[in-house]
Structure 1
Amino acid sequence: MSSPFFTQSRTATTRVTRSGGGQRSGGTLAAALRSRLSGRQSEANTAPSVEVKVEAEEEKVSEQEEPFTAAPSTGDKLLQQSTVQPKPEPEASPPRRRRRLVKLEYEKEDVASGIKTEDWEPPAWKRQLEFIRDMRSGRDAPVDKMGAEKCYDAGAPAHVRRFQVLVSLMLSSQTKDQVTAAAMQKLRTHGCTAQNVLATDDKTLGELIYPVGFWRNKVKYLKRTSAVLQEEFGGDIPNSVEGLVRLPGVGPKMAHLAMDIAWNQVSGIGVDTHVHRISNRLGWLRKPTKNPEDTRKALEEWLPRELWSEINWLLVGFGQQVCLPISPLCSVCLNQFSCPSAHRSSPAKRPKSGPPRSPSPRIKAEPGRDQTINQKTLSPTGQRRVIICAI
């Protein structure tokens, strides 16, 4: 046998024999070695199955990695079996929690630009709108009786009615409805068609529409617009916003209202000074606007389209009766508790220059005497000086 244990035992036995101990000592050493080996063999046999499996896998790996090394001896195998410890299994790591994606609750995508924008609307606009409807239920505002819907001749041909709607809208700019209705009545008596307007001289046309605001400029706009309509549309008006805004003196507000009243098509919100003022006062805009066109764009971003036609009529009459430009009647408004501009004082008027006027003292005449009053002499401040002469 090639084991170093047996080689060492032979040497020890030879030495004992030479010393005179006999075979008894050698036999005792051999028996001790056998018992020792048998004890190790029993320990190896009683090792758990996990250790044997691990040892077998290690031997297999070692054979694959070192194919040319000599096989270990039996004693080495027994010693290796007794010292091999099972590898601890790696602890299972807890599963990682995935982060939840945060998504906006209200968002819409602009198809043209591909940019997602968050929806916005005023907090209490529906309740405020219902209150305005209640306050406008009487339909007794000037716009209800003398607006553009009431100024055309219902018995005229369709293209003439549409032309008269456009003319009334052009005259209504910076003008009260009462003045616009009076001017339209005189034009209709004269003949309010594109052909008749072209045949009327500027002086006569000015007398017909006076005293509307900026009447001289409007005379020019009416003549130029009538010429375009007569030449390109046969006296009718265009049926698109793009075609209407090309006409002289016609802006976006007039174009959208003309599309609604004349053509019965809702193309946008007609925003005049009343709609512009009230929308800013109620907080119906994401941020305050400075002109009606910006107000129109801001309203159309959130206001439902089915309300675009009604909102002009509601707010114009509401602005004429309750939400006045100066000193609005907030005390009778149903929205006074939800309107952010309610009960704000109007700006103070600037006093006129010059010294304050003092009231003229009252002079009592003596009984039994006549009095003559000379009212021709005026004081430096503009007050009349009273001179009392006793006769």
Structure 2
Amino acid sequence: MTEPIRRSRRLVKDEDLEDGPSTSKYFPENRHVESEPAILSHVRSKRNSSDSPTKPHKRVKLEDTSHDRSASSPLTDLEELPPHLRLQSIPIKVETALSTTPKSKKPVVKLKLEKPHRAPENWEKQWDLILRMRAKIIAPVDTLGCDTTPNGERTSDPKIVRFHVLISLILSSQTRDPVTSQAVTNLHERLSGGLTAASLATAPSDLVAECISKVGFWRRKTEYIQEAARAIVEGGLDDGEDLPEGWEGRDLTGVDPDGRPGDIPMTLGGLCKLKGVGPKMAFLTLQCAWNINAGVGVDTHVHRVTNRLSWHKPKTTDPEQTRLNLQSWLPRHLFKPINHVLVGFGQVVCLPVGPRCDVCLLAKEKICPVRVTNGNYKARKDIGVSFEEEDEATVKAEPKLEIELETTVKAEPELEI
């Protein structure tokens, strides 16, 4: 009996070969393969290139998944196989290369966690201090956010206003607010009839691309916004979708929930059918365009700031998890303002690199877990405001009050005399 050969083995599945599966667990030694599979030919051509190092021969285990795995059959030595199967190495997984991934459906937006995240400690005090700082800050999001209009002009048509909000949000991904605002203004000025769903749907792609060429991923977004415009003109995006929680109390006079050709969707499912629109943009669109408070819009600033404040334990790794955590404990009336407040705070004070802990009230109160106390802030740009002005004024006023009280006390005995 021949001693079993114990060498490194490499699997090649039957379905990788054109002539179908074998009748035994492994290909028999005398198996004849008529033609060379395309993938093996491609791999061999890559292997034979000048920059690919050669490796020693290996034995090949040929597997037939249609046969009982408990059956045993001999291994075939690589040198005994037909020449076209004598591969020195296979640098990629054949089954991965040959597999076809079906088109994935649009993911359903998850609205809540199965187990709610607990409210973080001191979050209310942290929120109040951030509100105090935001009251003195004029951040880019305040003047150039998604709810601003091209050139500051407000049209009387609410459909067009809502469409501007949606286009601004799609363009805002990976783009600074001033660049996004200028791109929307360019579209409004250069498209025939201004920036509407109809004008954008029929505009030449070259013109649209030129108008938004400064935004991040402008080529892809050119396709996104034009496809979105065509879908909005056709209508029916909200068909079969439920109105989101929070629409109660909205004035829907003149609005047909069953289909509004020319108007943006007013449901989460309808908005997420559009290319380039994810949960964050969908929630922000509902808030800014329809005044529907259905959830928290989490962008990079909200994700970063809330993790720095330890509002998530453990820390979240993506904005979707951040959103679900916040929605599980944050009071509902804060779902809308939290994005605007934290974005402005993150743009001016809690910067991605080099946060201004020297002026931040959270650092002074020592309730920020990641505050930096020994940073070099002298060379950094002055943010132009001081958050301690009110406190200093109060401190200066207190001695005056004490002096007045002392004067009154001294005067009383004189009156008695």
TM superposition score normalised by structure 2: 0.54
1:202 correspondence with 2:208: no
Q: How does 1:29-108 map to 2 (within 5 A)?
A: none
The aligned counterpart of 2:175 is: 175
* Identity across the alignment (%): 43
CA–CA distance in structure 2, aligned partners of residues 345 and 180 of structure 1: 36
- Partner AA of 1:267 in structure 2: A
Match of 1:131 among 117, 129, 135: 129
CA–CA distance in structure 1, aligned partners of residues 145 and 373 of structure 2: 30
1:244 correspondence with 2:242: no
Match of 1:271 among 284, 298, 302: 298
User: How far 1:225 sits from its partner (Å)?
Assistant: 0.7
User: How far 1:139 sits from its partner (Å)?
Assistant: 4.5
Residues 246-265 of structure 1: per-residue CA shift (max 9 Å, x gap): 11111111100110010011
Residues 286, 298 of structure 1: 8 Å contact kept: no
Residues 310-344 of structure 1: per-residue CA shift (max 9 Å, x gap): 10000000000000000111111111111111118
SS in structure 2 at match of 1:301:
helix
The aligned counterpart of 1:332 is: 359
Match of 1:120 among 114, 118, 121: 118
Residues 244-300 of structure 1: per-residue CA shift (max 9 Å, x gap): 011111111110011001001101000000000001000111320111111100111
SS in structure 2 at match of 1:174:
coil
The aligned counterpart of 1:280 is: 307
User: How far 1:118 sits from its partner (Å)?
Assistant: 7.4
Residues 9-50 of structure 1: per-residue CA shift (max 9 Å, x gap): xxxxxxxxxxxxxxxxxxxxxxxxxxxxxxxxxxxxxxxxxx
Q: 1:119 to 1:324 in 2, by over 3 A?
A: closer
CA–CA distance in structure 2, aligned partners of residues 147 and 237 of structure 1: 19
1:211 correspondence with 2:209: no
CA–CA distance in structure 1, aligned partners of residues 270 and 340 of structure 2: 24
1:154 correspondence with 2:154: yes
Q: How does 1:362-373 map to 2 (within 5 A)?
A: none
User: How far 1:138 sits from its partner (Å)?
Assistant: 2.5
The aligned counterpart of 2:86 is: none
CA–CA distance in structure 2, aligned partners of residues 320 and 151 of structure 1: 21
User: How far 1:144 sits from its partner (Å)?
Assistant: 0.2
Q: Which structure has the higher relative contact order (CA within 8 Å, separation 6+)?
A: 2
CA–CA distance in structure 2, aligned partners of residues 344 and 295 of structure 1: 27
SS in structure 2 at match of 1:148:
coil
- Partner AA of 1:164 in structure 2: H
- Partner AA of 1:214 in structure 2: F
Residues 170, 221 of structure 2: 8 Å contact kept: yes
SS in structure 1 at match of 2:290:
coil
The aligned counterpart of 1:82 is: none
The aligned counterpart of 2:224 is: 221
Residues 77-114 of structure 1: per-residue CA shift (max 9 Å, x gap): xxxxxxxxxxxxxxxxxxxxxxxxxxxxxxxxxxx99x
- Partner AA of 2:289 in structure 1: A
Residues 116, 328 of structure 2: 8 Å contact kept: no
User: How far 1:151 sits from its partner (Å)?
Assistant: 2.7
CA–CA distance in structure 2, aligned partners of residues 134 and 328 of structure 1: 18
CA–CA distance in structure 1, aligned partners of residues 186 and 374 of structure 2: 40
Aligned length: 233
CA–CA distance in structure 2, aligned partners of residues 143 and 160 of structure 1: 21
CA–CA distance in structure 2, aligned partners of residues 223 and 345 of structure 1: 50
Structure number with the higher helix fraction is 1
Match of 2:233 among 230, 233, 247: 230
CA–CA distance in structure 2, aligned partners of residues 136 and 325 of structure 1: 17
Residues 358, 373 of structure 2: 8 Å contact kept: no
CA–CA distance in structure 1, aligned partners of residues 117 and 281 of structure 2: 29
Question: Runs in 1 of length 4+ with deviation above 4 angstroms?
Answer: none
User: How far 1:210 sits from its partner (Å)?
Assistant: 1.7
Residues 144, 317 of structure 1: 8 Å contact kept: yes
CA–CA distance in structure 2, aligned partners of residues 223 and 303 of structure 1: 36
Residues 198, 233 of structure 2: 8 Å contact kept: yes
User: How far 1:119 sits from its partner (Å)?
Assistant: 6.8
Q: 1:230 to 1:340 in 2, by over 3 A?
A: same
CA–CA distance in structure 2, aligned partners of residues 225 and 344 of structure 1: 48
CA–CA distance in structure 2, aligned partners of residues 223 and 138 of structure 1: 39
1:342 correspondence with 2:340: no
CA–CA distance in structure 1, aligned partners of residues 137 and 269 of structure 2: 32
CA–CA distance in structure 2, aligned partners of residues 125 and 301 of structure 1: 14
Q: 1:211 to 1:332 in 2, by over 3 A?
A: same
What are the ranges of 5 or more consecutive residues in structure 2 without an aligned counterpart?
A: 1-111, 236-259, 376-417
User: How far 1:156 sits from its partner (Å)?
Assistant: 3.7
Residues 116, 325 of structure 2: 8 Å contact kept: no
User: How far 1:200 sits from its partner (Å)?
Assistant: 1.1
1:145 correspondence with 2:166: no
RMSD of the alignment, in Å?
Answer: 1.9
TM superposition score normalised by structure 1: 0.57
Match of 1:295 among 316, 319, 322: 322
